[in-house]
Amino acid sequence: MHTDLVATRLKLQSQQSTPPKELERSIAIAQSDACKSAFLHTRFDSARSVAAQPHIAETPLVGLAVSVKDLFDVAGEVSTAGSTVLADRPAAAADCPAVARLQAAGGAILGRTHMVEFAFSGVGTNPHFDTPAAWDGRYNQPAGARTVGPVARVPGGSSSGAAVSVATGAAFIGLGSDTGGSIRIPAALNGIVGFKSTARLVPTTGAIPLSSTLDTVCALTRSTRDAVLAHEILAQRDVALSDAPLSQYRIAVANNILLDQMDSTVARAFQRGLQRLRDAGATLVELPLEPLNALARIQQTGGFSAVESYIWHRPLLSRGPLTRAAYDPRVLVRIERGAQMRAFEYFELVEARAAWITQMESALRGFDAVVSPTVPIVAPPISHMTPGTERDDAFFHANGLLLRNTSVVNMLDGCAISLPCHTQDELPVGLMLWSTAMRDDALLSLALKAEATLQF
């Protein structure tokens, strides 16, 4: 993995480098084959002007490169959420809070990154734009980059380009969103860190919504300590870290559906990760978490994303068949499912979620966190997921598996982090630590210690 943000800041403080020099390094990577298709639009000259500011070294991000998912408003730019439907909308009049906070902290925005259309998938493909290839841990390069070698694999979504920009070394922070796993899934498939904070901690204003209930603004980084810094900037709060050793942590191992259908690479890496945590002194307890069995029933009418996205998209869809034809068919079918939900069913969903959260909080009492695979499979080949009705079954099967574990945390209104747990000769695999709402600081404290045990 490339040098992280914290180490690069120290390098700048010791005058071993300069912000402009580090930025040029990032721009070179962003323009290379490693980042092919990761950016929809770039703004290198603007980034250079940020890095060249005389007092930039006094800021938290010291003029280093960040990327912004094409979901967020940046003043003077058009936010299209990876669609062609919104190409004619006016440019944003102001930065959204998340972007404004990154820029105020000295972040140099390289550009807007590729994403799943309207953030509605965990796979990472988009029929309107070429799909960037996931980083391949076996070769320390993007999948498919070699003339003879790895197969190009999906980057995960919906924050696909954000993850690739961080994994390749172009950006130190990839601003993204997580509604059902859109930060943690691409983190796992690219071998980097993805932290989903408790949703209420960062404003979603100025971000095109998928689900007003579940959307979380958060970031992809190269390390947990970078994740702490990024969260402090985005949430405008100090993280209170604990120095308690791993031997004082009690972690539940979700012994249920979250372990089903693991492929051999994920199963091997996950079991190895559990053993590393035990060897470091953590207490791991298998826990069935019975309330998880009720989730499918609670969401049988489509869940929050379907109905809340339909409410937002209804005015667009009313324009007529030409507009409807411009949508990714795989996205449109899920948005339109929300039209079937009746008002009383939505209120029942809200009530059922609240009751389910109470049950989960009770089941997790006495545990510092839960550990599970971030996703049960490695990244599928892009060629198996590209648009086409003949591949729809494979796409929706993979999408369901990729979202299954991560979406639990969004329904819980909780916090979670995906940490790399693979060896250098394996495809990237993520280990997810997660907990209930507002346990962010305790989770990050645990993740800092767990990360050290999982590195190979």
pLDDT tens digits, 21-34:
999 999 999 999 99
Question: Quick count: other Cβ atoms within 10 Å of Cβ 256?
Answer: 16
pLDDT > 90: percent of the chain: 94
User: How distant is the alpha carbon of residue 122 from its chain centre?
Assistant: 9
Mean pLDDT of 276-297: 96
- Give the span between the Cα atoms of 391 and 355, in whole angstroms: 38
At position 203, the amino acid (one-letter code) is P
Confidence at 145, pLDDT banded by 50, 70, 90: low
Q: What is the CA radius of gyration of the chain?
A: 21
Confidence of residue 136 (pLDDT cuts 50, 70, 90): confident
Answer CATH for 1-292+344-456 from 3.50.50.60, 1.10.10.10, 3.90.1300.10, 3.40.50.2030: 3.90.1300.10
Residue 45 CB partners (closer than 8 Å, separation 6+): none
Give residue 54's region: left, alpha or beta (phi > 0; psi -120 to 50): alpha
Query: What's the pTM value of the predicted model, to 2 decimals?
Result: 0.97
> Cα dist. 296→57, 257, 302, 336, 399 in Å?
50, 11, 10, 19, 15
The answer to whether residue 193 scores a pLDDT higher than 90 is: yes
The Cα–Cα gap between 35 and 144 comes to: 12
* CA distance linking residue 193 with residue 405, whole number of Å: 16
**Confidence (pLDDT) at 3:** 95
At 65, the pLDDT band (50, 70, 90 cuts) reads very high
Domain boundaries, the chain: 1-292+344-456
The model's pLDDT over 360-370, given as tens digits with 9 standing for 90+, comes to 999 999 999 99
Q: Per-residue pLDDT for 329 more than 80? A: yes
- Average the pLDDT over 54-70 and give the result: 98
pLDDT digits (tens, 9 = 90+) for 387-431: 999 999 999 999 999 999 999 999 999 999 999 999 989 999 999
Phi/psi of residue 431, each to 5°?
Answer: -105, 125
- Distance in angstroms between the alpha carbons of the first and the last residue of the chain: 11
pLDDT of residue 137 exceeding 90, the answer is: no
Is 63 in contact with 56 (CB distance < 8 Å)? yes
Spatial separation of the C-alpha atoms in residues 281 and 56, rounded to whole Å = 42
d(CA 323, CA 123): 24
Residues 5-24 pLDDT 10s? 999 999 999 999 999 999 99
* DSSP state string for 116-156: -GGG--SS---TTSPPPPPEETTTTEETT-SSSSPPPB---
Instruction: Please classify residue 328 by burial: count the beta carbons closer than 10 Å to its beta carbon, then call 0-12 exposed, 13-18 middle and 19+ buried.
Output: buried
Confidence of residue 125 (pLDDT cuts 50, 70, 90): very high
Would you say 384 and 391 are in contact if contact means Cβ atoms under 8 Å apart? yes
148 pLDDT band (50/70/90 cuts)? Answer: very low
Q: What is the pLDDT of residue 51?
A: 98
- Residue pair 387/396 in contact (Cβ under 8 Å)? The answer is no
Is the model's pLDDT at 182 over the cut of 90?
Answer: yes
C-alpha dist (Å) from residue 420 to 44, 164, 391, 430, 454: 30, 15, 29, 5, 7
Instruction: Give me the active site residues, please.
Output: 69, 158, 182
- pLDDT tops 90 at residue 49: yes
Q: Name the amino acid, one letter, at 321.
A: P
| Whole-number average pLDDT of the chain | 96
| Partners of 431 in the β-ladder | 373, 419
For residue 296, pLDDT over 70 is answered with: yes
Confidence of residue 378 (pLDDT cuts 50, 70, 90): very high
Which among 229, 146, 131, 239 has a CA at the least distance from the CA of 189?
131
Residue 134 has pLDDT above 90, yes or no: yes
Cα 428 to Cα 352: distance, rounded to the nearest angstrom: 35
- The pLDDT score that the predictor gives to residue 149 is 58
